[in-house]
Amino acid sequence: MAPESATYQEIQPLRMPVEQRSRVRRAGTVLGLISTLTLTCAIVLVVVAAVAMVLGLVRFTVVDSGSMRPTLNPGDVVMLRSEPAADLALGQIVAFHPPGEPKLTVIHRVRAIRATRSGIVFRTKGDANNAADPWRAKIVGDTVWRKDLKVPWLGYPVVWSQRPAIRMAVLTLMLAVAVSLVLAWIWRPAARRDARYSAVSER
């Protein structure tokens, strides 16, 4: 007796409900807009800061000591703004090179100002120090660099980036992120086209 042939029902492919597909697409669109907006804002901020630095309007420096605690802490990034030397006032926080130390930048608070024939001379003191600084600094030129704002803790990556191994790791990470963004931008139209073809074939 010949065995009866088994009949199998045709296996239907799994299909995602239309409403669920729509929600997934909307979520992807929102995330894409948020990421694009965030990246655009970051690029704009970097460009504005770079232009301001090139024009000599602002400078950035990293706090590496605790002499100005609690106002400034080690690892803080300070934005310095150029202003006329005549506007220097007591209590301001300024950045300068101590006499005989052209490679050292000190960020301390102004405690005394005296106008001389050769220029403006001032004395400073760190907020956390018990005594004023031993030197009398002189303003060279017509401007002085005054503390405008600070970004807490941002300076730690800047300090670490000076190490060759960490610098290479950061550059590699930046390159990977850039390549990922480029590939995502290239593949995005193809993904949308495939989704449209899939929707048409399911109708």
What pLDDT shows up at residue 8? 46
pLDDT above 80 for 97: yes
Return the closest-CA partner of residue 62 out of 154, 133, 149, 164: 154
pLDDT above 70 for 9: no
- 112-151 residue pLDDT tens: 999 998 889 999 999 999 999 999 999 988 999 999 999 9
Task: Report domain extents, the chain.
Answer: 27-56, 58-152, 155-183
What pLDDT shows up at residue 147? 96
Better-predicted residue by pLDDT, 83 or 190: 83
Better-predicted residue by pLDDT, 149 or 11: 149
The answer to whether the peptide bond before residue 70 is cis (omega within 30 degrees of 0) is: yes
Residue 194 CA, distance from chain mean position: 37
108 - beta bridge partners?
94
Average pLDDT score over residue span 18-24:
63
> Domain spanning 58-152: which superfamily?
Umud Fragment, subunit A (2.10.109.10)
Average pLDDT score over residue span 95-120:
93
Average pLDDT score over residue span 145-171:
80
- pTM exceeding the 0.95 threshold for the entire prediction: no
